[in-house]
Structure 1
Amino acid sequence: MPDHDSKSHAASSDHESRDRESPSADPKPSETLGPQQHELLGAIMQTAVDAIIVINRRGQISHLNPATAVMFGYDSEELIGQNVSLLMDQPDRDQHDGYLQHYQDTRQAKIIGVGREVTGRRHDGTLFPVHLAVSEIKTGSETYYAGIVRDISDLKQAQLELAESNRLLEQRVRERTEQLRQIEAQLARAERLAMLGEISGGIAHEVRNPLNAVRTSIYYLLNATQPTAQKQAEHLQRIDRQVTKIDKVIRTLTSIAKGPQPNSAACDLIELLDDVIDSITVPASISLEKRLEQPELIADVDANQMAIVFRNLLQNAIEAMPDGGQLVIETSTHRMRLIDTGMGITAEDLLKITEPLFSTKSDGMGLGLSICMALLQKNNVDANITSEPGQGTCFELTFLNQGDGGR
């Protein structure tokens, strides 16, 4: 490997001597510098990590630093006086002199004053990416161009590795996303199957008990030797009650399965609630109090479906106060609260209170609140239940589809 530092300096000095001896030689920028500045410039050239190449107006290399020789694999003497296109790849190699002449004629820069990425060519013919920044230097009547060349092979390799890492990461993200989607689908299916199992078990319980009572009564009627008319009537009435109970279970489940879409229209919910209250029996032991922020609460809902919700919630509140209590109805701009002072619900039961076939009542089917929640969701009404055992329960409805009266 040649001593690039000493040879580069010698090559530059010899070339300067030849230029001084020839009247046609290009004057050097260093001729205008004092000894100290000349020494500083030489030190910068010698120690710079990037290649520094100075060319004249004809594109010939007049100065270069040791890093240039190392980067391109030449001895410094080989490059002095050569056209700088020697260090370029096609098409820049053939077009460089044209670029230079075009700039000198038109002052329209394609490279001068514009940093860009180009391809360098080493002595052995290998190509490598470089960043080239060229500036124009004026010294008296002469013009030179100084180029700073940085080998960006490592940068390009890092960019390729980063792009590949990003590609692999995106691929992994897509794979994990698909796995999560499949897991979610499996969980949803498992939840549906679990819910189906719970519902099936609940239905079996709700239907089996009445059927056993019917079977017992039928067995009596078929096998009693001389049943009295009164006994026959009692068993027939018992059969009728149990069949009615089974029918109620079936009709309730059918209403859940059908899930009709709401026929929404502007509705005064306070007036609707009053109509529902008039249609049910409120025991005298329960005091009913209304705390209305304004006389109307208008929302776009299905009045028939909301009537079902109100009836169910009121009935639950009444049944929660068998020994009497207070039922408070509060309204604000877009909310309604039904607050009772009944038995309340435990925190554990509160988590399951809206699940199908879950009931805190010994004789309840556990379908009322699940139907209410389904209807509220269809009508774009948020529901929130809070309760304390022995203190009572608050059922809060927030109506998201406000009518004119709710504004």
Structure 2
Amino acid sequence: MERKQQQALLAAIMESAVDAIIVISEQGVVLQVNPATERLFGFSPEEVIGQNVSMLMPPPYSQEHDQYLENYRQTGIAKIIGIGREVVGRRKDGSTFPMHLAVSKVQTEGLIRFAGIVRDITDLKRAEWELRELNEDLEQRVRERTEQLREAQADLVRAEKMATLGEVSGGIAHEIRNPLNALRTSAYYLRNVPSPTQEKIREHLRRIEHQVLIIDNVVTALTDVARLPDPKTEFCDLRRLICDALRSVRVDPAIHVCNDVPEDAPRIFADPNQIQIVLNNLVRNAIEAMPDGGSLTFRAVPAGPFLQLQVCDTGTGISAEHLGKILEPLYSTKTRGMGLGLSISKSILAKNGGALEVDSQVNQGTEFRIQLPTGRR
């Protein structure tokens, strides 16, 4: 391409660019600007060309820019070249605005020039502020709903209105995960897309508000958990139910499992599906309490019209401070989890005519005792 064609192409780019383009010397003197510069800053080309570019920035950004140029003249190292920065611009009327500045170095005919591309990010910063406001509002709503949920759960336990976690946990996780993904997508868009249109900003803010409402509704629904279904009782083989529970989870090879429930043990009279939920919860808790291995033992002891199942582990144990509360809803000693497993198990056993007790010592292990009604074969 001939030199005249190159110059014509460069001139066309400068004229049509929507971002301000400013060319300065090594000393920071403005040599050339495009029409977008005048629209953005309000200065005519004649007012800017020949002046120090720091006139377009308020303190302390103007001093910082002068210092960058001075460091370059002394060291020959251009520290901000190719690195986009958020700075503040100053218009002719003295007003300021946030802007994104990208600088490149050009060397022609032995002379060094710097070309800066400036973009007004006022709309983007406003969107970020509105997003922070929405996030704070969401956090406040979650705090309020969490407190309401605790209060509602206490009433639900007294009224036996706990639901089985196995029936609802998948749906709850799905309902919350989807709006969270939508929130993350909109937040990413508002933070990273350069110069989004006002319509796009409003669209994503509306989407964020809508997803917050969905999460709020899910939390509300948790406070209205349905009553446990009435058990469908039948004679059950407890040993077989224990085996099924052990197959439902991965047991670390370092954990020794001993099922001492005899094959001829009295059958229990209960809902096998509901008792399976209880056993699954206890097995998972025992495994999590023995991250470095140990032993898990099941023993059955006849106790009048009941069969007492003892589930013993040699895990980390539970402190006296927590022991009296672990059967309460929404109480958990784990960093993850809602603290519903044991409270649901207690409710299930009560509906099936049984009971749940626990003893534990720190660093020695835990023993859960399940009382289950029996019947004749």
Q: Name the TM-score class by shorter chain.
A: 0.3 to 0.5
| TM-score in terms of structure 2 length | 0.48
More helix, by proportion: 1
| TM-score in terms of structure 1 length | 0.44
Structure number with larger C-alpha Rg = 1
Task: Answer 1 or 2: higher relative contact order, Cα 8 Å, separation at least 6.
Answer: 2
